[in-house]
Amino acid sequence: MTNAGISLEARIKKAFGELSGAQRALAEFILSNYEQAAFLTAARLGALVGVSESTVVRFAYTLGYQGWPELQGVLQEMVKNRLSTAARLRLSAAPVAGEKESVAREILTTDLENLRRTLQELKEEDFDAAVDAVIAARDIYVLGSRSAHSLALFLAFYLQMIGKRVRVVPQGVSSIFEELATVRTEDLVIGISFPRYTRLTVQGFEYARARGARMLALTDSILSPLAPLADITLTAQSNLGSFIESFAAPLSVINALVTAVGRRDKEKTLACLDELEEVAARHSIFYQPGGGGNGV
């Protein structure tokens, strides 16, 4: 029997008799302080408990996880919707005696792990379906609030560059429902949200679905409130262990999506890019030393 679907507490209880003294100390710390453990690297957790980083990694494997990042992801699922950004900062910044790892190295290493896990979990059939949906759509609405609004703007900018009719929601002074009132069945609505999920985004996504549009979600997991509303779900890891989200992996998925659309719809894409180059040259959009107007 595999450990799939078994809770963390049940795994620890099942394996407790086989754990070393150091691993038992880890288990007790995690169960008593799981909100803090969820936002610590293996090295930081080990330092807090007084064990080595390798002990933390072996502990995760003993419980049936594929290393500390997977176990940490389970812990984060347990707490992420209940913690404010301030609480996450306090927990992730807990001092560790003798800590020498720089913040830059810690954050960049976490981003690399997010990218690795996103690539590992990406389902090609879902990605291909998302590409087809973008190409087939009459109009595209990209829905994202708060920090995810930056992802919505980035996606919309490049989709417009390759000739798609795109609208970012929310914008202006209208309500989100007024802005989505023109959605039709031949349109695509792309909802972007990561923990803590924004209520307005979920409500807008529900409203657009009721209008019969094709629905594409970009979120962190199939447990996201956007996932059951979506026809297609693309997931990307956003764990950072800080007071902000990591958008390295979501941005990479967006880059891949736009690139795939451009390649699959090549003739239209080239025509649009050529036209934009002419506009850029005519109006000196790009800076060049010496006053020239053309450039990248």
| CATH code of the domain occupying 8-101 | 1.10.10.10
Report whether pLDDT(162) > 70: yes
Report residue 1's pLDDT band, with 50, 70 and 90 as the boundaries.
very low
SS3 percent helix, strand, coil of the chain, rounded to 5, is: 55, 10, 35
What does the pLDDT average to over 68-87? Answer: 72
The tokens describing 188, both together, are 């695509």
What does the pLDDT average to over 252-257? Answer: 97
What is the per-residue pLDDT across 110-153, written as a single tens digit (0 to 9) for each? Answer: 888 889 888 988 999 999 999 999 999 999 999 999 999 999 99
Beta bridge partners of 191: 143, 217
Please give the mean pLDDT across all residues of the chain: 85
What does the pLDDT average to over 190-202? Answer: 91
Task: Provide the whole-model pTM.
Answer: 0.66
What does the pLDDT average to over 47-67? Answer: 91
Report whether pLDDT(261) > 60: yes
Polymer length of the chain: 296
Q: Do residues 251 and 224 lie in contact, with contact meaning Cβ atoms separated by under 8 Å?
A: no
The ranges assigned to domains in the chain are 8-101, 124-282
**From CA 18, how far away is CA 11, in angstroms rounded?**
12
Concatenated DSSP letters for 139-199? SEEEEE-TTHHHHHHHHHHHHHHTT--EEEES-SSS-HHHHTTT--TT-EEEEE--SSPPH
Per CATH, domain 124-282 is 3.20.20.20:
no
Q: For the ranges 100-104, 139-143, 240-244, 272-276, which has the lowest average pLDDT?
A: 240-244
CA distances from 164 to 100, 110, 156, 161, 262 (A): 48, 34, 9, 7, 10
The tokens describing 159, both together, are 């989709």
**From CA 152, how far away is CA 129, in angstroms rounded?**
19
What type of residue is 136?
A
Report whether pLDDT(295) > 60: no
What does the pLDDT average to over 6-15? Answer: 82
The tokens describing 142, both together, are 């990209």
Angle (deg, nearest 10), helices 53-62 and 21-32? 80
What does the pLDDT average to over 249-271? Answer: 93
Give the pLDDT of residue 42. Answer: 87
A 10 A CB-CB count for 44 gives 22
Report whether pLDDT(173) > 60: yes
Report whether pLDDT(287) > 80: no
**From CA 112, how far away is CA 121, in angstroms rounded?**
14
Report whether pLDDT(263) > 80: yes
Give the pLDDT of residue 80. Answer: 63
Give the pLDDT of residue 99. Answer: 54
Report residue 296's pLDDT band, with 50, 70 and 90 as the boundaries.
very low
**From CA 118, how far away is CA 135, in angstroms rounded?**
23
What is the per-residue pLDDT across 200-211, written as a single tens digit (0 to 9) for each? Answer: 999 999 999 999
What does the pLDDT average to over 68-81? Answer: 80
Residues 6+ apart with CB under 8 A from 247: 147, 150, 151, 194, 238
234 three-class SS:
strand
